Structure 1
Amino acid sequence: MINKAIKSYITEHEEELIATRRKLHSEPELSWEEENTTAFICEQLEELGIPYRRTEPTGVIAEIKGGKPGKTVALRGDMDALSVQEINQDLAYKSKFDGKMHACGHDAHTSMLLFAAKALHQVKDDIPGSVRLLFQPAEEVAEGAKTIIKQGAMDGVDNVFGIHIWSQTPTQKIVCNPGPAFAAADIFKVEFKGRGGHGAIPQDTIDAAVVASSFVMNVQTVVSRTVDPLDTAVLTIGKMEVGTRFNVIAENAVIEGTVRTFDKETRNHVEKELEHYANTVASLYGATAKVTYSRGTNAVINEEISTHLVQQVASEAFGEDVIYDQKPTMGGEDFSFFLDEAPGSFALVGCGNPEKDTEWAHHHGRFNIDEDALITGAELYAQYAWSYLNK
């Protein structure tokens, strides 16, 4: 099942792969601002002669058409950076731009997918079918996948595969289990309105600070007392704004947070109960509540057959001990929207190495990767596409 020419190409071009990742790391671009990254990818594809088209406003869809008829498999790599200040002072390739950083590994994803494309291009005459290459913008704001899907990214695709580099997993280990991998990630806002007044005359007021505080202290019962303990849900309050002055009783309070779930029933239940709880707390104090619940990414649910293929490919390419068992994460990933269009799977490729100080959490200013993971990810992309189309 494993194509030796693909393995040889990626191994022989490891230094170039690392250099490409370092270039992208030093030149981060935020969501919907990936103009230079998009142009760089286009230049690379043009040199290879791989047909592509730019998506709007950023991003690239390319396709390697094999020499034989067959299905179409899509490979996705995201490109955008984060509004994070890099504090890796000793890196020669650290971010050139204050307040912008590839703190989640998307520079690695883009580089790995690009070199997977180069390897697949070398064997295109033997490929039965086509490989769709999706260089996706704006994953960090959960908008890029839906945008490029609307522009035809998944038209005619039979299967889709994605990779995320992962600092909490040992370098070169691969995690890909059937079922939930990433959670649905939703955002909510609760706006409480009371009646403001002088801090010395509380009897004439309805204190929004008290209402909001009661909500924050007790809203976890939505999960702990209304969700089946065997189901999974996380409700987090991340922001609260209330009050204007030390001696003024607040009239308004705004609370923002996130809900993470794996299945639709639990997601619907928490949304309903959250609104009910906010209105109940508000009425208890004579205030009012307005709840805005925004659904973000869906849960990433790995399809069983595709996942077993990933495990088989990984074992044959790198050895059976490469497979690593790890629990699903409650983080969100807009790869979920590709899985709404076609079956597929999403794998984690470990890049955590304490000797190289690459175990920092994603989105941290000291995040970095063990670059030994790059050839693993690049080959996994390419070998999965080859194996899927040849199975």
Structure 2
Amino acid sequence: MSAAPWDSAVARAIELRRALHAEPELTWAEHDTAARVRAALDGLGIAWCACADTGTVATLAPAAGGRHIALRADLDALPIHEQTGLPWRSRREGCMHACGHDGHTATLYAAAAWLAAVEDRLPGPVTLLFQPAEEGGHGAERMISDGALDGVDAVFGWHNWPAIPFGRAVCPDGVVMAGNGTYRLTLRGAGGHASQPELCRDPVLAAAAVVQALQQIVSRRLPAQAATVLSITSIDARSNPTVIPDDAVIEGSFRIADAADRERLGELMTEIATGTAAGYGVACEVELFPRYGPTVNHAEEAACYRGALAAEFGPAVLDGGTRLPIMASEDFSYYLRERPGAFALVGAGDDQACHQVPCHSARYDFNDALIAPMARVYARLAGAPLPDAPVAHPLPDEATTEERQ
């Protein structure tokens, strides 16, 4: 592909990203997003099929004889009220692309445009996975069950990461991101008048003790080598100033780097929460909700990915200052349980304020400067020829999508 068509593809990808950002949709509700993606593929002359309802799968060079790889992007947004003030900010109240899935989708579109233009020169088939419901919805699992990996030999994905400097990345052999889960502890006591606590079994006091006790699991009951996080994020014991309530509910999240530690952590949480509550005359019901497993890279594919990143960003691309595994979680883990592959975290941090705040922040925005180089990385993984000239710069920030059309 010559410089002009490639630059045009990148510019269209940035427009698509900002259009998606302005109209975000939550997990399993990505209907407009799916329509935009499918229309964009139609515009490239790429045949597609629906998968997992709002997901989309397309395969280029299906008859090529080489290794069949898959490249993935995620589609869904988060229930967050955006506070960026950008021209392309969310138009949907309480819904925001606060994790960069809009940028991942736009990057895969740019790669698709490039790969379609050189389809007859691809050494093997390339499947494009536009996946819904990454944010806790197990969308990858549903994509797999609907056949998204049929015939695929290896699968690759990535996530932007503002805490890593732009031009740096991590893609280790083995665990790159943690597994996770959530929990709910329901403490059932006996409420009553605040002036007579001796006649009550106070679930609020018990909840306070349980919180303190749970915080000691990681430091005192698990090996120091086990990368584990246990967070208490909510205590709900609503009442009024003169009433001790009957119940209190504690909720939170846990992260584990080794899937084998999940069962042990659950056992310890149950033992400590129920035992501590019992000391206050309060019963405790423990509910554990496993979500994603650890994202575990395969060594051969991770080495190939690191090579593609180094070829694009330079030999210093690997970021030695980032402690691994990242304790956030990814449902890309489902793909890596089914096929060899690798997942990379690519630095988005630069001197712009919105590119320094973390994912899931109301002030976050995806760094559009990542679209072109990561599309090129995807093309390198596919064994495609590269464009002849440097990539285009992002479109001016002040121009909205409507103004450019």
Q: Which moved more, 1:192-201 or 1:328-337?
A: 192-201
* Selected match of 1:131 from 126, 143, 150: 126
- Once the two structures are superposed, residues 171-230 of structure 1 have per-residue CA deviations (whole angstroms, 9 ceiling, x without a partner) of 232221112211111001111111222222222221111111100112112111110011
* Selected match of 2:224 from 222, 229, 234: 229
CA contact (8 A) 1:172 1:372 kept: no
Tell whether 2:360 aligns with 1:371.
no
Aligned residue in 2 for 1:203: 198
1:321 Cα deviation after fit: 2.2
What amino acid does structure 1 have at the position aligned with 2:295?
Answer: V
- Separation (CA, whole Å) in 2 of partners of 1:309 and 1:7: 26
What amino acid does structure 2 have at the position aligned with 1:174?
Answer: A
Aligned residue in 1 for 2:400: none
1:6 Cα deviation after fit: 9.1
- Once the two structures are superposed, residues 8-67 of structure 1 have per-residue CA deviations (whole angstroms, 9 ceiling, x without a partner) of 864553322222211211121111121111111111222333221112431101111255
* Selected match of 1:220 from 215, 219, 225: 215
- Separation (CA, whole Å) in 2 of partners of 1:200 and 1:119: 73
- Separation (CA, whole Å) in 1 of partners of 2:188 and 2:93: 39
The SS at the match of 2:103 is: helix
CA contact (8 A) 2:110 2:371 kept: no
1:87 Cα deviation after fit: 1.5
Give the TM-score normalised by structure 1. Answer: 0.93
Aligned residue in 1 for 2:312: 317
Tell whether 2:355 aligns with 1:358.
yes
Tell whether 2:26 aligns with 1:30.
yes
* Selected match of 1:191 from 176, 186, 193: 186
1:84 Cα deviation after fit: 1.4
Aligned residue in 2 for 1:145: 140
Q: Which moved more, 1:173-182 or 1:285-294?
A: 173-182
Aligned residue in 1 for 2:395: none
> Structure 1 residues 138 and 350 mapped into 2: Cα distance closer, same or farther (>3 Å)?
same
Q: How does 1:73-112 map to 2 (within 5 A)?
A: 73-89=69-85, 91-112=86-107
Structure 1: segments with no counterpart, 5+ residues: none
The SS at the match of 1:76 is: strand
- Separation (CA, whole Å) in 2 of partners of 1:93 and 1:221: 44
- Separation (CA, whole Å) in 2 of partners of 1:86 and 1:194: 39
The SS at the match of 1:305 is: helix
Aligned residue in 2 for 1:40: 36
What amino acid does structure 2 have at the position aligned with 1:294?
Answer: F
- Once the two structures are superposed, residues 279-332 of structure 1 have per-residue CA deviations (whole angstroms, 9 ceiling, x without a partner) of 111222222111000100111111111111011112223321233232231111
Tell whether 2:378 aligns with 1:381.
yes
* Selected match of 2:341 from 335, 340, 344: 344
1:80 Cα deviation after fit: 0.9
- Separation (CA, whole Å) in 1 of partners of 2:221 and 2:289: 21
* Selected match of 2:117 from 112, 122, 142: 122
* Selected match of 2:13 from 12, 17, 37: 17
CA contact (8 A) 1:64 1:124 kept: yes
> Structure 1 residues 202 and 130 mapped into 2: Cα distance closer, same or farther (>3 Å)?
same
CA contact (8 A) 2:177 2:326 kept: yes
CA contact (8 A) 2:235 2:248 kept: yes
Tell whether 2:332 aligns with 1:335.
yes
Tell whether 2:169 aligns with 1:174.
yes
CA contact (8 A) 1:349 1:376 kept: no
1:107 Cα deviation after fit: 0.6
- Separation (CA, whole Å) in 1 of partners of 2:131 and 2:67: 22
Tell whether 2:254 aligns with 1:259.
yes
Q: CA RMSD in A?
A: 1.9
Tell whether 2:49 aligns with 1:53.
yes
* Selected match of 1:62 from 51, 58, 61: 58
- Separation (CA, whole Å) in 2 of partners of 1:7 and 1:314: 21
Q: Which moved more, 1:68-77 or 1:232-241?
A: 68-77
1:94 Cα deviation after fit: 1.7
Q: Which moved more, 1:143-152 or 1:184-193?
A: 143-152
- Separation (CA, whole Å) in 2 of partners of 1:243 and 1:141: 27
Give the TM-score normalised by structure 2. Answer: 0.89
Q: How many residues align?
A: 382
CA contact (8 A) 1:67 1:124 kept: no
